[in-house]
Amino acid sequence: MKIFLAGASGVIGRRLTPLLLGAGHQVAGMTRSAANARALEAAGVAAVVVDVFDADALKAAVMRAAPEIVIHQLTDLPQIFDEAQLAASYPRNARIRTEGTRNLIAAAKAVSAGRFIVQSIAFGYAAGAAPHTEADPFDLADGPRAVTVRGAAEMERQVLTSGLEAILLRYGFFYGPGAWTNEPHRKPPLHVDAAAHAAAIAVTRGQPGIYNIAEDDGMVSIAKARRELGFDPAFRLRI
């Protein structure tokens, strides 16, 4: 299949591209950096340099790529864990999830993409009995993660009402290559390779809807993802 991967040079994008290419897909990888574009080309990806906030340029780029599937893995977070940098990044990241997602949806609809796969969060649930299922509500009240959770909730609303065949992957806290830590540090944890694995299998498996993607530690239920996607939280890349 022809796939447009937004966020191809990000933490998950870098682990996802070899899975997509290995499965025989043609991948157009979006990045904002010319340097990252060269690395993508070297890996066998058709690099696309465009800013998600430039709606016209994004639409034109997606139309040139003519994908059957669009995968949204865009974030704007610091490369190292620093509390001040992280706090400053929350509004930027929320803007990607609201305005950026709106632009990407419009571009996907312009080419009649068959499926729209999106990175969301599994750590935004309101207090209540665990493990949380996908039907449980997000905590939209004021708090340290309010900007993040509200941004994710608005992104999900846009995607679920877009008319696209949407798959929302609610990811846990990342660890592994390229993440802030190589070991689980917050609940629910998720290795970056397992996150990439979930996006790769969602290309051809699963009914439209929401899936918790995390390790089975009692915080969130991943039964639906195991059953319908064939998700395996122990998956690791062999590279």
Domain with 107 in it: what CATH number? 3.40.50.720
Q: What is the model's pLDDT at position 143?
A: 65
Q: Is residue 238 part of a domain?
A: no
> pTM (2 decimals)?
0.96
Structure token pair of residue 15 = 């682990």
Helices 83-95 and 146-160, interaxial angle, to 10°? Answer: 20
Q: Is residue 235 part of a domain?
A: no
What is the separation, in whole angstroms, between the first and last Cα of the chain? 23
Q: Is residue 234 part of a domain?
A: no
User: 56 burial class (0-12, 13-18, 19+ CB within 10 angstroms)?
Assistant: exposed
Q: Is residue 212 part of a domain?
A: yes
Q: What is the model's pLDDT at position 90?
A: 83
Q: What is the model's pLDDT at position 158?
A: 98
Range of the domain at 128: 2-229
Cα angle, residue 154 at apex, residues 84 and 59 outer, rounded to 5°: 95
What confidence tens digit (pLDDT) does each residue in 80-106 have? Answer: 777 777 777 788 989 999 999 999 999
Q: Is residue 239 part of a domain?
A: no
Q: What is the model's pLDDT at position 91?
A: 87
Q: Is residue 177 part of a domain?
A: yes
pLDDT-flagged residues of the chain (< 50): none
Q: Is residue 152 part of a domain?
A: yes
Q: Into how many domains does the chain fold?
A: 1
Q: Is residue 236 part of a domain?
A: no
* Contacting residues for 73 by C-beta, under 8 A, at least 6 apart: 5, 6, 7, 8, 10, 12, 13, 16, 119, 199
